[in-house]
Structure 1
Amino acid sequence: MRFTLVLLVLMALGGLAWVRLAPSDPGRWHVNPLTARDPGSPNFARIPPGEIVTAEDPATLAARIDAALLAMPRVTRLAGEPKGGFVTYIARSRLLGFPDYVTVRTLAADRGATFAALSRARFGASDFGVNAARMQALRDALE
Structure 2
Amino acid sequence: MIFWIIVLGIVGAVAWIRLAPSDPAVWHVDPMVTADQDLATGVRRRVTGGLDAFEALDRIILATPRTELLAGSIDEGRMTYVTRSQWMRFPDYTTVQLDGVQIEVFGRLRFGQGDVGVNRARVDGWLAALAARDGT
Q: Same fold (TM over 0.5)?
A: yes
Task: Determine the structure 1 residue equivalent to 2:23.
Answer: 25
Separation in structure 2 between the aligned mates of residue 105 and residue 75 of structure 1, nearest angstrom: 17
2:66 aligned with 1:74 = yes
Q: CA deviation at 1:61?
A: 2.3
Q: How far did residue 130 of structure 1 move?
A: 0.3
Partner in structure 1 of residue 130 of structure 2? 142
Structure 1 position 34, deviation (Å): 2.0
Q: Which amino acid aligns with 2:43?
A: A
Q: TM-score, normalised by structure 2?
A: 0.87
In the alignment, residue 29 of structure 1 is paired with which amino acid? W
Alignment partner of 1:61 is 2:53: yes
Distance across 1 between alignment mates of 2:80 and 2:105: 9
Distance 1:133 1:118 in 2: 13
The offset of 1:83, in angstroms, is: 2.5
How many Å separate the matches in 2 of 1:53 and 1:4? Answer: 56
In the alignment, the residues of structure 1 paired with residue 83 and residue 64 of structure 2 have an alpha-carbon distance, to the nearest angstrom, of 8
Gaps of 5+ in 2: 132-136
CA distance, structure 2, for counterparts of residue 84 and residue 28 of structure 1: 17
Task: State the alpha-carbon separation in 2 of the partners of residues 119 and 35 from structure 1.
Answer: 11
Structure with the greater alpha carbon radius of gyration: 1
Give me the TM-score of the superposition, normalised by structure 1.
0.83
Q: Which residue of 2 aligns with 1:6?
A: 4
How well do the aligned residues superpose, as a CA RMSD in angstroms? 1.6
Aligned to 2:134: none
Alignment partner, residue 113 of structure 2: 125
**Paired residues, number:** 127
The residue number in structure 1 matching 2:103 is 115
Point out 4+ residue stretches in structure 1 off by more than 4 angstroms: none
- The answer for unaligned runs of 5 or more in structure 1 is none
Mapped partners of 1:27, 1:35: distance in 2: 19
The alpha carbon displacement at 1:84 in A equals 1.8
* Contact 1:103 1:117 survives alignment (8 Å): yes
- Equivalents in 2 of 1:23, 1:76: separation in Å? 14
- Give how far 1:35 is off: 6.5
